[in-house]
Amino acid sequence: MTTRAPLAPTAGAPPRRAGAGGALVRVARESADFTWRNLIHLRRTPTTLASSLLEPILFAGLIGYVFGGSLGGPAYREYLVAGLLGQAVTFTASFTAIGIARDLQEGTVERFSALPIARVSLLLGRTTADLATCLASTTVTTGCGLVLGWRPHTGPAQVLGGYLVVLLFAFALSWIGAFIGIIAPNVQVAASLGLIWLFPVTFVSSGFIATASLPEPLATIAAWNPITALANALRALFGNAAPPGFPPQHGWATAHPVPYAVGCAVLLVIVFIPLSTWRYRVRTSR
């Protein structure tokens, strides 16, 4: 990656102190450089992108047609799409974990550490670039939903709002992936840790079933699960109702799915950006 001249201090010149605004601009420029670097790397490793596009197709066919016939048929398939979008978002976090672990293992981060750049810039560049993977996966999932018979029943503003919530959630969850990639000793461990937590978080939710049908305490856990909030928010914004026979869900989180989903995403960002940056600083200072 080609660094820009302003990032390197002039030989013999005293370090310049930048204000808060200048520091933010610098971080934004550095993060943009890292984002571009990661996108170029993604283009050179098409198998990574292919796997992220294949998973939504497999799960849409498996759950929509293999299990969907016994869970409500066409009505369930329309209900299912919000869960598939939530699943696509969560799986993006595993790509972030693997990408950061690979950079650490191959020594790429050590080379970047010699440059006068903010430590958060590398992490921000990775999480921002992975939004491109999420966007592609979301597009494929939407296409699969249309094939399954899903249709939004609200206006363009609500539909756009739903996809903005998806991208916000993807960005938030990618910071969990960043933290996992930093604490993992190698790529193999990062790949395992990046997937282990995704399956219970995805399936113990309203992504594919009604949380009220679960036994306690799973029903309560699922009702407050952030993926449940995301799935319920998308169904509210897209106008997709639960299939006939699904037990109704109750509680504040269910009654206010959109603000709860946005709040969960913002909270994850607030917690995991400083946590990941701190852990990254500790690991690269050894």
Q: Residue range 129-154: average pLDDT?
A: 90
Sorted by where each begins, the domain ranges of the chain are: 21-284
Share of the chain above pLDDT 70, in %: 88
* Number of DSSP helices (H) and strands (E) in the chain, helices first: 12, 0
> By mean pLDDT, which of 8-22, 42-56, 142-156, 258-272 is the weakest?
8-22
Q: Taking all residues of the chain, what is their mean pLDDT, rounded to a whole number?
A: 83
Write out the two tokens for 83: 């869960």
pLDDT the model gives residue 70: 65
**Between these two residues, 272 and 28, which has the higher pLDDT value?**
272
pLDDT the model gives residue 81: 92
Q: Is residue 280 over pLDDT 70?
A: yes
Distance CA 77, CA 65 (A): 8
Q: Is residue 2 over pLDDT 50?
A: no
Q: Is residue 4 over pLDDT 80?
A: no
Q: Is residue 53 over pLDDT 50?
A: yes
Q: Predicted confidence band at 106 (pLDDT cuts at 50, 70, 90)?
A: confident
Q: Is residue 95 over pLDDT 60?
A: yes
Per residue, the 3-state secondary structure of 248-281, as one string, reads: CCCCHHHHCHHHHHHHHHHHHHHHHHHHHHHHHH
On whether the CB atoms of residues 108 and 266 are closer than 8 A, the answer is: no
On whether the CB atoms of residues 29 and 3 are closer than 8 A, the answer is: no
62-75 residue pLDDT tens: 888 777 666 667 78
Q: Is residue 101 over pLDDT 80?
A: yes
Write out the two tokens for 273: 């950006």
Other C-beta atoms within 10 Å of 44: how many?
A: 8
Element (H, E) at 6: none
200-254 residue pLDDT tens: 899 899 888 888 888 889 999 999 999 999 999 999 999 998 888 788 888 888 8
Those residues whose C-beta lies under 8 Å from the C-beta of residue 74, and which sit 6 or more positions away, are 149
What is the 8-class DSSP label of residue 117?
-
